[in-house]
Each structure stands twice: as C-alpha cells, then as structure tokens.
Amino acid sequence: MRAFSQVDVFTDEFLSGNPVAVVHDADDLTTGQMAAFARWTNLSETTFLLSPTDPAADYRLRIFTTSRELPFAGHPTLGSARAWLERGGTPKTAGRLVQECGAGLVAVRRDGDRLAFAAPPLRRSGPVPPSTVDVLAAALRVEPGDILAARWAENGPAWVAVQLASAEAVLALDPDPAAFGEYPDVGVFGPHPPGGEADFEVRAFVDEDGTFVEDPVTGSLNAAIAQWLIPAAVAPAAYVAAQGTKLHRRGRVHIEQSDGEIWVGGDTVVGITGHVAL
C-alpha cells in the first residue's frame, strides 16, 4: 500500500477543474505497472512521484495518459506539486520547487496558496502551412478564413494552437473527430470582451488512442499559447484564460510574464487522499 492523492487543478472549487491522480513513493513501480494504473484511473493524466536523479530537483515525476507517457504536462505538474507538499515535502528553496520530468527541470513557484510552473521551452513553434490550416478548419467545422492564425505549439504534447476571432466562436465549435487526421492535439482560443473575469476562452481537443476527447483545463496548451501571445503583444503580460466551460467546469489559468519567464498558475484542491494497493 502506498499513499495516493487526487487533486483538482486550475480551480478553487472541488469538481470544477481538471483532476489528476498522484501516486506517492513510486520508485519501485515498473513502467508497466504505472501504465496499467493510469488506464484504470481513466483520467486524462495519472502521475507518479519518485526520488530525483538530478541534485537540483526536489522530486521526479512520470506522467501517463491512458495510452502513453508524456515528457511534460501542465495540470499534472501543479497537482503533483500540491500533493507532494501536502504529504510533507520540503523544497530545497523556500517558496520554489523544482520538478524533474521527461522535459527536464521545471520550476514551480508558490504565490500564497496558488502554484505556478515556468513554461518549458517550445520544442516546435512557428506558423503552420496553409494546407494544415485547411485540415484544421475542416476538423473544427469552420471556414479557413475564420482561423486568424495557427501555430505549432509543441512543448511535450504536440499542440497546434488555433486563434479565432472571439470566445463566442470558440464556445460554438462542434468539431468533427474523424477529420483531425495527423493532428491529435489541437487547442483553440479567442478573446472575451474587455471587462470580464477572463481575457480568453480556451478549448483543447485530443485524440487519446483513437478516442476523441475534450480536455477540461490544459496547462501545457495554455503555456504554449502564452509563449505566442505575450511576445507578439496580442495579450498583456498578465491575463486569465477560462477553459472547461462547455464541459460544465470552471477552469481558470493565471498567466504572468515576469523575470523573463512565463508562469502558468492556478489554484489546486486536494479532493481525495488515501492509499492504493500497487
């Protein structure tokens, strides 16, 4: 029996964000055992906390979907950091954690009760070709001219990020799951009118081993979008993105550029604690 936590991420209200399952003290588990448990939880991600191999890190994290292991993902990073702290983890540097994962070292800072991770470097960026825009438009069931811009946004997951004219247009999307083809991770965003609680609406569409799903709230996607929008002056240095609206969630992602880095933050709620027989 080993400690287990389930954390709701990017929300301050349990059941309104994106849950991640976290297994503690997982050093002796095999990759096969981890993958099997991730399939069993049937959550978008399940993580395993291990001892670090890099002396600069506080802990090591392995991240699994129901079908694959990811080098990095956003909401599992924040949820696992919260679970590690709740179980008595003490970071080497006060107010700042360092996570070791497949993408390298990822810094996580504490801002009161809120956690934020430093957006990892993009592995692939830049505009997608017009032929890809046409495929994305067909998959999203919009006209190619409705897509204001589209860019590669790979930072672990192989995101393609698509900009629409408004949050209303984003919320109106009714995608065709069969039409995404070779683009299994597609994120779409558009601005809300000024003066509201959120500045942008975000949706994430994922093909998970042949099953098309919409992810409730997605840290990696929001990180990549921020790395596009803030340097291009499309978004201010600090803004809030809403996600999960169509899934009856109330995800809020807090973006801030400071000290030359883009930080992706959110509230976290520990909803379940106990032990798991692994």
> Using CA atoms, how far apart are residues 40 and 231, in angstroms rounded to an integer?
41
> Using CA atoms, how far apart are residues 63 and 97, in angstroms rounded to an integer?
17
- Contact assessment for residue 50 and residue 30, using Cβ atoms and an 8 Å cutoff: no
Partnered with residue 242 across adjacent β-strands are 201, 252
CB atoms under 10 Å from CB of 194, counted, come to 6
The residue annotated as part of the active site, out of 13, 45, 86, 168, is 45
CA-to-CA separations, 8 to 28, 68, 82, 186, in angstroms, rounded: 26, 21, 10, 23
Closest CA to 102 of 183, 204, 220, 186: 220
- Contact assessment for residue 221 and residue 195, using Cβ atoms and an 8 Å cutoff: no
- In the residue annotation, 182 being an active-site residue is answered as no
| Active site members | 45
